[in-house]
Every structure is written in C-alpha cells, then in structure tokens.
Amino acid sequence: MFQELRTREQELYDTVCEFADTVVAPAAYEYDTKRRLPLEIIAQMGELGLFGLPFPEEVGGQGRSYFEFCLAVEALGRVDQSIGVTLEAGVGLGIMPIYRFGTDAQRDEYLPDLVAGRALAGFGLTEASAGSDAGATQTNAVLDGDEWIINGSKQFITNSGTPITKLVTVTAVTGEEVRADGSVRKELSSIIVPNGTPGFEVLPDYDKVGWNTSDTHPLRFTDVRVPAANLLGERGRGYANFLRSLDEGRIAFAALGTGAAQGCLEEALRYAKTRVVFGRPIGENQHIAFKIARMQARVHQARLVWHDAARKMDAGRPFKLEASLAKMVCGEAAMDNARDATQIFGGYGFMNENTVARHYRDSKILEIGEGTTEVQLMIIARELGLAG
C-alpha cells in the first residue's frame, strides 16, 4: 500500500533536491562535455552523508533506511543521471557487498573511506560473454599458498577508474562444484582487488552514448596476486551473494529512472508555460497538454512502484518481484518521458546543453543496466510461476 513520505524522509528529499538544483545542475553540461566525474561534487555528496545513508552509525553511516537512500538517488537523477548513478553504484555495488559479506578486517579497512564518500569502489561481474549468464564467467582465480592469482577481464565497470577508486570486487571462477545429480558447474567467488595492484589494469574509458560524467572502464587482470584474505564472503558464494545486491540495486535504479522522468516532466512543463507560439503558450494546445499529462501519469506510476519495492525490502519482506517490476516500469517511464520532453522542446531539445537532451541520451541505459527489460520480464514471469 502506498505510504506518504514521513517528515524526515521529505526533509531529506527536499535537501538533496536543493543540492541537485544549486550545485549539480549548473555544472552538469560542463562535466558532460568534459566527460569527467566532478570529484568536488562527489566530495560534497560525501559531506552531506549521502554515501552513508543506508548504513548504521557504528560503521560511519547515517543509520537511515534503504528507502531514504533511494530518495536521494531520485533527487539527483532529476538533474543529472551520471551523478545519480555514481551514488547508486557506489553504495549498491561498491559498499554494500563489503558491508554485508566482509570480514571485520575488511570492513575496518575499507568502509570508513567508502561510507564517507572519500573513496569509491566498483564491482566487476560483467565480461564479454558473461553478464546475465554468470556461468559463462571466464575470469579465474587460483589459490597459490596464501595468495589468489587472478587472470581475466571485465567490462562496463562503474566507478572503477576514478582518482579516488580504492578497490574493485571481482567475481572469478575458483573451482568446480559437483551437484547431486552428478553435473558440474563453476564455483564463483568474489575477491577484493585494490586499485594499483600489479597486473591489474584499468583500461581507457568507454566512448558512451550517455552517462558521460559517470566513470566506466574495461578491466584486465594478468597474474594479479592478492592475499587469500581478500576473499569476500564464502568461497563459491560470489554470485549468490551478488544477486542479493543486484535485487536491491534494481530498486535504486528504479528510483534513478523516476528521477529522470520527473526531471523531464518539470522541464517540459516549464517550457510549455513559457514558450509562446502564434500568440499563446504552447501548453494551451491540447496535444501538448495531453502529452504532459501522460508524462505526469508515468512519473506517478513509477514512484508508486519503486516506493512499494523499497518499503517491502526495508520491512524484511520478499521483494524480488517488486524490484523487477520497479526497474522495468521506471526505466520505461524515463525513456518515454525523455522522448516526449525532447519533442516538446523541438530543436532546442536536440541541443546537448539542454537537460532533456541529456536525459534522452542517458535514459536508454536504464532499460539495459542492472538487468535488461527482457531479464526483468523473465524474472517476473518466473515469480508468477511461468516459464521465463
């Protein structure tokens, strides 16, 4: 059931919206053009406590809910998806696995800087032939005495090559498991690889369609040696543990999509009220007014569905189905609203300095990243007891 924002939740959302409007938005076009992550803005986000929102105070966090973290992601996504996804991935893929599955020593070493936003971390799962099909993972790690030797490569890894990136957690094949029926499957484990480790190469960043400010790199591992103690969680549980983080991340991704859809709505509404053609604002034309009405409907639907998923997660209830529904619905809302907003702006909507133009470029990845729309449909069908 939908629940209105509590007072402290509304205050948080308003605070991050103000930060987004006054700090992030004015710099968004410049950094998009430079294709560079603005570390000074990331530092300010750290000072606001955004990276520590869903973590307890004993590890340096804010002790807030995951729902509240998603509110912050939505607020940032209104004006700049690259900044929003830097926070989303920094928490969901960078910090959460270490907080949830790390040893006391790993937590003590990495969490203080990560939670404070002084450092970033990435998670290396995707490969050229492995993503949704984790069983196709080729990166391998062999235990040699008290060290892992890692060889392989990863691609599309967020927050992996910034000047403040401290580590990347990678999934690797560490052996084989024999099932009860006699079949054999790969044993996948997660291993922490600090940036700067010999043999660990962060390759040149991608020339992307959108999210130009977000840091994304392919990675290469050539006889990389790290201590055996860098194993994150139980051996052989690397992918299973990641799935938990992925389900959670889909909710935050949905919040990011909702923010993008909201940002497009706000820009289109403002323009429709002020752009005068043939002596009257274009918003007085029914076809423009109806287009914006549909944009409002998409935002409302998107917000309801991610709120529902996040509330269930925070309450400790099953949320896998709701997370996939939210990820799919919100990604589509962002893409549809970006298209309509660009159409309303006309030629101005095709200029990169316009926020809606950047949303148009950025929003497509919301239907791909953290599980494509097709993967979400597969999960939803399976959760309904159908073949997906």
- Residue 350 · residue 357 · CB < 8 Å: yes
User: Average pLDDT, stretch 4-12?
Assistant: 94
Taking only the tens place, the pLDDT of each residue in 215-273 is: 999 999 999 999 999 999 999 998 888 888 888 999 999 999 999 999 999 999 999 99
Residue 1 reports pLDDT greater than 50: no
The catalytic position among 88, 267, 367, 370 is: 370
| CATH numbers and ranges of domains, the chain | 7-120 (1.10.540.10), 121-236 (2.40.110.10), 240-383 (1.20.140.10)
Annotated active-site residue 370? The verdict is yes
Q: What's the pLDDT score for residue 19?
A: 98
- Residue 326 · residue 333 · CB < 8 Å: no
Q: Which helix (H) or strand (E) holds 335?
A: helix 320-345
- Quote the CA–CA distance of 49 and 44 in Å, as a whole number: 9
Whole-structure pTM value: 0.95
Q: What's the pLDDT score for residue 387?
A: 77
Taking only the tens place, the pLDDT of each residue in 335-356 is: 999 999 999 999 999 999 999 9
User: Average pLDDT, stretch 178-194?
Assistant: 87
Residue 3 reports pLDDT greater than 70: no
- Residue 215 · residue 38 · CB < 8 Å: no
Amino acid at 160: S
User: Average pLDDT, stretch 47-71?
Assistant: 97
Taking only the tens place, the pLDDT of each residue in 133-155 is: 777 899 999 999 999 999 999 99
At 241, give phi and psi (nearest 5°): -70, -35
Residue 4 reports pLDDT greater than 90: no
